Protein backbone atom coordinates (compact mmCIF):
# COMPACT_ATOMS: atom_id res chain seq x y z
CA UNK A 1 0.00 0.00 0.00
CA UNK A 2 1.20 3.51 -0.66
CA UNK A 3 0.45 6.73 1.15
CA UNK A 4 0.84 10.39 0.33
CA UNK A 5 -0.36 13.75 1.56
CA UNK A 6 -2.45 14.22 -1.59
CA UNK A 7 -6.23 14.44 -1.56
CA UNK A 8 -8.25 11.24 -2.02
CA UNK A 9 -9.36 12.33 -5.49
CA UNK A 10 -5.78 13.07 -6.58
CA UNK A 11 -4.56 9.70 -5.28
CA UNK A 12 -7.43 7.92 -7.06
CA UNK A 13 -6.49 9.56 -10.36
CA UNK A 14 -2.78 8.77 -9.83
CA UNK A 15 -3.67 5.17 -8.96
CA UNK A 16 -5.84 4.78 -12.05
CA UNK A 17 -3.25 6.36 -14.35
CA UNK A 18 -0.48 4.07 -13.11
CA UNK A 19 -2.45 0.85 -12.60
CA UNK A 20 -0.94 0.06 -9.20
CA UNK A 21 -1.96 -3.38 -7.86
CA UNK A 22 -2.27 -1.97 -4.33
CA UNK A 23 -4.32 0.80 -2.72
CA UNK A 24 -3.07 4.33 -2.10
CA UNK A 25 -3.96 6.08 1.14
CA UNK A 26 -4.34 9.79 1.59
CA UNK A 27 -2.60 10.81 4.81
CA UNK A 28 -3.80 14.40 4.84
CA UNK A 29 -3.12 14.95 8.55
CA UNK A 30 0.25 13.15 8.24
CA UNK A 31 -0.63 10.81 11.11
CA UNK A 32 0.80 7.68 9.46
CA UNK A 33 3.83 9.52 8.12
CA UNK A 34 4.66 10.91 11.55
CA UNK A 35 4.14 7.55 13.24
CA UNK A 36 6.35 5.60 10.82
CA UNK A 37 8.96 8.32 10.26
CA UNK A 38 8.12 9.46 6.73
CA UNK A 39 7.54 12.96 8.13
CA UNK A 40 9.03 14.91 11.00
CA UNK A 41 6.36 17.61 11.12
CA UNK A 42 2.63 17.84 10.50
CA UNK A 43 3.37 20.72 8.10
CA UNK A 44 5.92 18.83 5.97
CA UNK A 45 5.08 19.28 2.29
CA UNK A 46 6.04 15.80 1.08
CA UNK A 47 6.57 12.43 2.74
CA UNK A 48 10.01 10.88 2.68
CA UNK A 49 10.21 7.85 0.42
CA UNK A 50 10.41 4.96 2.88
CA UNK A 51 8.91 1.49 3.14
CA UNK A 52 7.56 -0.22 6.22
CA UNK A 53 6.69 -3.91 6.09
CA UNK A 54 3.94 -5.05 8.45
CA UNK A 55 2.71 -8.57 9.13
CA UNK A 56 -0.94 -9.61 8.93
CA UNK A 57 -1.52 -8.40 12.50
CA UNK A 58 0.02 -5.00 11.78
CA UNK A 59 3.30 -5.64 13.62
CA UNK A 60 6.32 -3.89 12.16
CA UNK A 61 8.73 -6.34 10.52
CA UNK A 62 11.18 -3.97 8.81
CA UNK A 63 11.70 -0.34 7.89
CA UNK A 64 13.62 0.74 4.81
CA UNK A 65 14.73 4.32 5.44
CA UNK A 66 16.32 4.79 2.02
CA UNK A 67 14.43 3.66 -1.06
CA UNK A 68 15.52 3.68 -4.71
CA UNK A 69 12.51 3.13 -7.00
CA UNK A 70 14.69 1.28 -9.52
CA UNK A 71 15.95 -1.40 -7.12
CA UNK A 72 13.73 -1.35 -4.06
CA UNK A 73 10.93 -3.68 -5.20
CA UNK A 74 13.42 -6.50 -5.76
CA UNK A 75 15.12 -5.72 -2.44
CA UNK A 76 11.83 -6.19 -0.60
CA UNK A 77 11.00 -9.37 -2.52
CA UNK A 78 14.42 -10.77 -1.67
CA UNK A 79 13.97 -9.92 2.04
CA UNK A 80 10.42 -11.23 2.44
CA UNK A 81 11.21 -14.93 3.01
CA UNK A 82 13.43 -14.03 5.97
CA UNK A 83 10.94 -11.51 7.32
CA UNK A 84 8.04 -13.96 7.08
CA UNK A 85 10.01 -16.92 8.38
CA UNK A 86 9.93 -18.81 5.10
Q: Work out the average pLDDT over 33-58.
A: 93
Per-residue pLDDT at 69: 86
Per-residue pLDDT at 50: 92
Q: Work out the average pLDDT over 43-55.
A: 92
DSSP 14: H
pLDDT value at 25 more than 80: yes
Region at 45 (left for phi over 0; alpha for psi -120 to 50; beta for the rest): alpha
Chain centroid to CA 79: how far? 16
Q: Work out the average pLDDT over 24-40.
A: 93
- pTM of the complete model: 0.79
**Domain 2-83, classified CATH 3.30.420.40, yes or no:** no
Higher confidence at residue 10 or residue 3? 10
Amino acid sequence: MGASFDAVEDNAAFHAANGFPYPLWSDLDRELALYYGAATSDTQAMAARITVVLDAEGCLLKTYDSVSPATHPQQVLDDLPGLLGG
